[in-house]
Amino acid sequence: MAELSSSQRDALAASTDETLRARPPEASERPTVAAPSEAATRVAGAGAPPRSSAPLEGRIGRHHILGVLGSGGMGAVYDAYDPELDRRLAIKVLLGEVEPEQLLAEAQAMARVSHPNVVPVYDVGTHQGRVYMAMERLEGGTLASWLAAESRPWSEIVARFVAAGRGLAAAHATGLIHLDFKPENVLLDLEGRPRVVDFGIAQLSREAKPGPPPSSSASLPTGQRGSLLAGPTDGRIAGTPAYMAPEQFSGTVTDARTDQFAFCVALYEALAGRRPFGGTTVVEMATATLNDEAAPLPTNLGMPRWVARALARGLAKDPAERFASMDALLAELDRDPHRTRKRVMAAGALLGAAGLAGGLATWGTQRAASCSGAAAQLEGIWDPDRAAQIATQIESTKLPYAADTAARVRTRLDAYATQWSASYEDNCEATNLRKEQSSEAMDLRLACLQRARLSLQASSDLLAEADAAVVERAIDMVDALPALARCEDLEGLTRDEPLPAPEIREQVFEVRSILARAHANATAGRFVESEALTRAALEMAEPLDFCPLTAGLTADLGSAQLRLKHHDEALELADR
């Protein structure tokens, strides 16, 4: 049994004057996935007087202070205004016993992490002997508050965490380790995109050098523990106890796998409604984390086994037994079990001779044709030429993360296209070759796949002309593509997405094409364009009198109007 040293026990005991709240009742007693409790108190800096905790007034650099957003042991966060760029922002002023020069160097390292899932740092400097970081001010609350708002399906929770995990992976690629990942340190923008924030006790590997980040597959350098607030030999421990890894409690070397452990604790808690290790006081939590095995996820949550396996590996006490990187963990969590139903397509599978118009023609004729036409369906939508065009366009923006974004987009869209092609061929073969599916079921599945293809084309077209704003949301656009597993749920398709009558199918297809463009523009942050496209689609759909289409479009238009703060129009639409 691992034991804490007397100095470590004293540091832990001194870090809080009250026990941390337990999380009753147990997840096994809950009928739905519940939200996690508030985070535990930080340990680092316990009992150590800050340089100065008096609130700042006036200006920090060129930024006008408007008020205090929050404060804690690591510093204070101010609401501020940048008159040069005419925008509101948040400024974090760091407190600690480390020399300002070291704090400044590490804050500058944080500013180099440019990724859609990391809160961007606009400015770094010193003010009255204290280091500050000016960051984007987000209005969507925290991941913790999002979880607390209502019970969520497991797939939605995992998707949010995977997005946040990509922000961690981007930081790791620059040699920066967070050391305090938790739901409270993930902010959401108004569209719900997670952004990792508060690298307040992060460590910068001493081997890390300024410059472009290495590829995500590169080995990560090992850092010194607690470099920002605790030196490597001072015996103090930095972190939030509920999410800390064994190596943080024991004072041994920490690296990117330490963040992986905290990420898995937080995701486990979000899914199960309790943390994987027991304890209510800091010392009890440290003892449990060092000695106890993680409790298995409850079996009544409806999650696939691969989620539990991934979390169990990420919670291994020995860092060597965890995933080699955050990217490897995220790939396991993000995989779709339906992708394994079919063989992997050959490398040249996405070559063909027909475009989008072929989809409409095959809607009613596929049952008499060959089942090898998937490649033709994706010609010009996602094929090698389109992939190269999009990569060139993304990189032409010269954003610091452009090359990384282009690579991630290609990887994800390659996988999506492969899965789409496999599902397309399987649908045809199930009816025409294996004789295990009716022609009516084939048509339902094919219509679903064609809707997904329209969404893929709309996103592909936007990415092919992407500016910096679109590139910033490129990963979100890809991740927002329709789940292809839906196209295998015949019961759900029959109930929610019935086929239109044959005489209006062509017009419905045209409306859905416009709707797909509207959705892509919304995900790309082009809300005015999205609202106009949705309005046009609704006007085209209303004469068709196809209720599933018009009802969905009406709801979409109301959402688009609310995003633009056209509240009166949204209310008028709701009263129709």
**Residue 270 is encoded by which pair of tokens?**
């979000």
pLDDT at 31: 31
Q: Give the integer Cα–Cα distance in Å for 47 and 237.
A: 12
Burial zone of 235 (CB within 10 Å; 0-12 exposed, 13-18 middle, 19+ buried) = middle
**HSE value, Cβ hemisphere, 13 Å, CA-based, for 544:** 25
Sequence-distant (≥ 6) Cβ neighbours of residue 107 within 8 angstroms: 94, 121, 124, 131, 133
The answer to whether the Cα torsion of 48, 51, 52, 58 is positive or negative is negative
Global pTM exceeds 0.85? no
The H or E element containing residue 121 is strand 121-127
Q: Is 438:490 a contact under the CB 8 Å cutoff? A: no
Q: In 3D, which of 262, 269, 270, 241 has the Cα closest to residue 182? A: 262
In angstroms, rounded to a whole number, what is the distance separating the alpha carbons of residues 401 and 540?
40
C-alpha–C-alpha distance, residues 48 and 46, integer Å: 5
- What is the DSSP track for 401-446? THHHHHHHHHHHHHHHHHHHHHHHHHHHHHHHTS--S-HHHHHHHH
Identify the pLDDT of residue 265: 97
What is the C-alpha separation between 109 and 124, in angstroms, rounded? 10
Question: Residue 276: what pLDDT?
Answer: 96
SS3 content of the chain, % helix, strand, coil (to 5): 50, 10, 40
Q: Is 161 left (phi over 0), alpha (psi -120 to 50) or beta?
A: alpha
Q: How far is CA 5 from CA 15, 224, 225, in A?
A: 15, 19, 17
CA distance 387 to 441: 32
pLDDT of res. 1: 58
Of 8, 527, 489, which is closest to residue 236 (Cα–Cα)? 8
**How is residue 496 annotated by DSSP?**
H
Query: What is the C-alpha separation between 218 and 170, in angstroms, rounded?
Result: 12
CB 368 within 8 A of CB 443: no
Cβ–Cβ < 8 Å for 79, 67: yes
Give phi and psi for 87, each to the nearest 5. -150, 150
Closest Cα partner for 417 from 347, 361, 470, 472?
A: 347
- Going by C-beta distance under 8 Å and a sequence separation of 6 or more, which residues neighbour residue 209? 175
Residue type, 439: S
Residue ranges in the chain modelled with pLDDT below 50? 15-52, 205-236, 337-369
Q: Which two tokens stand for residue 30?
A: 């809950």
Half-sphere exposure for 184 (CA within 13 Å, toward CB): 15
In the three-class reduction of DSSP (H, G, I as helix; E, B as strand; rest coil), residue 526 is classed as coil
Query: H helices then E strands: how many in the chain?
Result: 21, 10
